[in-house]
Each structure stands twice: as C-alpha cells, then as structure tokens.
Amino acid sequence: MYKLQEEQRLLDLSKQLVKSDIHEQEAKQLREVIEYADWKYYVKADPIIADAEYDALFKKLKNFEAQHPELDHRGSPTTRVASGLNADFPSVEHLVPMLSLENSYNAADLLDWDRKCREQSADALLEYTVEPKFDGASISLVYEAD
C-alpha cells in the first residue's frame, strides 16, 4: 500500500507536525500521517510512533477541526467510529461491555480521572489497582466453576 519512500516521508512528517502549530495545509498532512500510523498499527501490527506521539497528533487534529468547523472534515480519522481495518480479530458480543479508557500521561490527567470517578460513584471510598499497559489487543475472560 505504501512504498518505502512514502513511508519515510510520512514518518519524518509526523515528527515535524508534533512540534508545530497547524493550519489548513498541515491538517491535510496530519490526516495522512494518522491514516498511515493507523494502517501500520492495525493492519500491519507494526507501530511506527509511540502512543503518546500518536495521541498528541490526533488531539492536535481534533482541536484544529473543532476550531475550524467551516472546513470539510469528511473522511478525517477523527470521524471514524470503528476502524474495521483488520479482520483477523472478529467482533464478538461480551457479557460486560469492554470500554475504552482515556489516555493519561501526567499527574493532572490522573487527578482529573479520579475526580470524575468520585463524581460518578456513590461510594466515597474508591480503591485502584495500577498495572502496566500492554498494547495491541484486549481480552475478556469468564471463569466458570468446574
């Protein structure tokens, strides 16, 4: 799908865009970079950029589009509901929905998340378990008695 030269161009472009403000032309390039990163991650299972960099690029594009609703954003990665990029893992119905979590990269994000949890919980005493995150797949297990 992508030639080696095009892959290198998009990788270099991702490093430039993460550091700079964007305008309409850069937004088009940013969409290209995100689509390429999605393809590498979901189809090829070969991520090219770190999650934090991807999230920063995606957030930058989302903010730009929110600030410029007059521009055409159809087809943008920010409007994609479900990727459908890889059929190797078919969708299944879970007993309990598997929901996405918000990304957090600093203490302020975690404190904000804690505040939201406390607001939504009638139980004032909340306990958390923190574990390293392994990217790439999710699993839901149901244990049954023998």
Alpha carbon of residue 130 to chain centroid:
20
For residue 118, pLDDT over 80 is answered with: yes
pLDDT value for 1: 81
pLDDT value for 61: 93
Grouping H, G, I as helix, E, B as strand and the rest as coil, residue 122 is: coil
Q: Give me the catalytic one of 3, 19, 44, 133.
A: 133
Domain 4-84+91-120 annotated CATH 3.40.50.2300: no
pLDDT value for 83: 52
Q: Where are the domains of the chain?
A: 4-84+91-120
pLDDT digits (tens, 9 = 90+) for 14-28: 888 888 888 888 899
- Is position 59 annotated as part of the catalytic site? no
For residue 94, pLDDT over 60 is answered with: yes
Grouping H, G, I as helix, E, B as strand and the rest as coil, residue 36 is: helix
pLDDT value for 89: 63
